[in-house]
Chains A and B, each alone.
Chain A
């Protein structure tokens, strides 16, 4: 009977909405994760995009005005230590007394770079400074050769050309993978507490036996529980998407050359794709929780079980797994979502197949649950 399923779903949702633990579990994730992600992306983008000015201590700079000018054009300048607002790196560049004279004579002019090479944090800055000094040196060398009528190419037997094939899209692959993974994961996290509460929790409170003694089929009870948890999970997903849409707009994506914009179309697609995953998550969590004897036990089992979708999703975003993985639940759908954000064509066959597999797993778990609820051991937790 459909009507008693609806009665049960309504009751489960009222019950869940009043359960602070269930609601907070969903809310923390839905609100917290997109914000955390944003923070992380901002940091990440700050690191990969154009480097900041490098402030070092340049001593006797007046002896080499040309080199100082060159360095400052590369963003490396002398920073006054008194100025607290500047982050002056502990690197010293000292020009020798005879720098200008040596330079004028066309001999090697001495420059001393003083820095702690074991300091990890300084490594990048030191390398940057060294690279710039070498470039300047090579340029001066070339000029000296030209002045003597020699083609500078003589001293450059090999010319290395580096072609970076990375497109802005592929650079963003990992970021996109992580972003979609956290959204898909919302489906698993948001309904989890309710799933435990309505199964292991219900038995712990002795209401499971009472419910089963009423004229309701076990199948309807299981369906109602799966439906209720699914609804909760989908609400969690919707909230995650809305928060993501709002917060992702604050991330300076343009510095990466691509944008992760949560468009309305993307939200609709995510909800559509997320539904089978939510159903599977609900039946998986309920099934595992019914197997556990207590609320606590169910929690620890589920924490372990939830690693599986996480792994699938990770494998999809880092391209570390074989192609077959694209056909599996969770990873298959995630690939499709990433393709959509990148503006590529969605691999329909893969998406359909992985969604079907997802639903088949959900159905199998639901039947298994129906069967287990007819077992005295499960009902009374013997």
Chain B
């Protein structure tokens, strides 16, 4: 479970987060939906402790990230944007490295890596160096890194950006599987279809604030619109920065 309470953060002149609060529950896929510049990435970076909030707190499974960062992050998997691959390592080495950093022994890390690589159908590229990988292959590598240690909570920052249909489907199926296994999945996006298709709960963000919370259907109901897209535009009051 990821809980964010009254989070505020100023970056330079911009109030990136403004009294932001929400909860992402276990066994659910929560979408953080907002136009470009709404503060989605800032919010996620604060959750995994890279940024310090001016006010408020972020908790992972009840542990405050700012107070005990290491313990909190142990229950967290991160799919960042951009991916941050080590080009000179193979996916097997890369994933296994991060598994070890998350506290797995060398042997366990290798076993877990082998498992997740075959789960993502990556066996053919598992021992090639990441340099020269396609966007889809990169995405899979980053995804394997995020879930190899079986964290209860998985955070994905703009996961479908730049992916083709096949890769998007792989990702979508995996997220559903994680949800079925009771994981808490939180992802940010500005792509309507993806959010509508996947999310149990949508948190609509604009200018660092939560504008509305609810399932895609509930949001449509609240606003009296037929599609999530119309509901979203109604909620944030503009159609700027939205991809249909």
Contacts and interface: CB of A to CB of B under 8 A. Distances in A.
B78 interface: yes
Tell which of A3, A208, A211, A213 has the most Cβ of chain B within 10 Å: A213
Nearest to A214: B101
B87 A205 contact: yes
Contacts of A380: 50
A380 to B, nearest CB: 8
A18 B72 CA distance: 34
Interface stretch (A4-12, A68-76, A142-150): A4-12
A115 to B, nearest CB: 64
A4 B45 CA distance: 23
Contacts of B86: 11, 15, 205, 207
Interface in B23-62: 45, 48-52
A43 interface: no
Given A8-B101, A11-B89, A210 B51 contact: no
Contacts of B74: 215
Interface in A183-229: 205-217
Contacts of B19: none
A206 B82 contact: yes
Nearest to A217: B70
Interface string A344-382: 000000000000000000000000000000001001100
Tell which of A4, A210, A212 has the most Cβ of chain B within 10 Å: A210
Interface string B216-230: 000000000000000
B73 A4 contact: no
A19 interface: yes
B78 A216 contact: no
A321 interface: no
Contact of B84 (A11, A210, A217, A376): A210
A14 interface: yes
B64 interface: no
Given A213-B73, A214-B102, A215-B74, A11 B80 contact: no
Contact of B88 (A18, A206, A212): A18
B97 to A, nearest CB: 5
Contacts of A207: 84-86
Contacts of A212: 49-50
A95 B87 CA distance: 80
B83 interface: yes
A7 B73 contact: no
Contacts of A210: 78, 80, 83-84
A127 to B, nearest CB: 61
Contacts of B48: 213
Nearest to A380: B50
A8 B93 CA distance: 12
Interface in B173-225: none
B49 A213 contact: yes
On chain B, which size bracket covers the interface? 20 to 34
Contacts of B70: 215-217
B89 A15 contact: yes
A380 B41 CA distance: 13
B103 interface: yes
Contacts of A376: 50-52
Contacts of B50: 209, 212-213, 376, 379-380
Contacts of B101: 4, 7-8, 211, 214-216
Given A205-B84, A213-B73, A217-B70, A11 B97 contact: yes
Given A215-B73, A376-B51, A209 B97 contact: no
Given A4-B100, A213-B73, A215-B102, A14 B93 contact: yes
Given A14-B93, A209-B50, A376-B52, A214 B84 contact: no
B88 A214 contact: no
A206 B103 contact: no
Tell which of A8, A19, A205 has the most Cβ of chain B within 10 Å: A205
B133 to A, nearest CB: 13
Interface in A4-43: 4, 7-8, 11, 14-15, 18-19
Nearest to A216: B101
Interface string B6-28: 00000000000000000000000
A380 B80 CA distance: 13
A211 to B, nearest CB: 8
A11 B100 CA distance: 11
A280 to B, nearest CB: 27
B80 A7 contact: no
A200 to B, nearest CB: 14
Nearest to B12: A382
A170 to B, nearest CB: 50
Tell which of B69, B82, B93, B101 has the most Cβ of chain A within 10 Å: B101
Nearest to B47: A213
Nearest to A20: B88
Nearest to A19: B88
A232 B73 CA distance: 31
A74 B113 CA distance: 81
18 contacts: A3-B100, A7-B101, A7-B106, A11-B93, A14-B88, A14-B89, A14-B93, A15-B89, A205-B84, A205-B87, A207-B85, A210-B84, A211-B101, A213-B49, A213-B50, A215-B71, A376-B50, A376-B51
The 3 closest A-B pairs by CB, nearest first: A207-B84, A210-B84, A215-B73
Given A206-B82, A210-B78, 17 more contacts: A11-B97, A14-B88, A18-B89, A206-B84, A207-B84, A207-B85, A209-B50, A210-B84, A211-B101, A213-B48, A213-B76, A213-B78, A214-B73, A216-B70, A216-B101, A217-B70, A376-B50
Interface of B: 45, 48-52, 69-74, 76, 78, 80, 82-89, 93, 97-98, 100-103, 106, 129
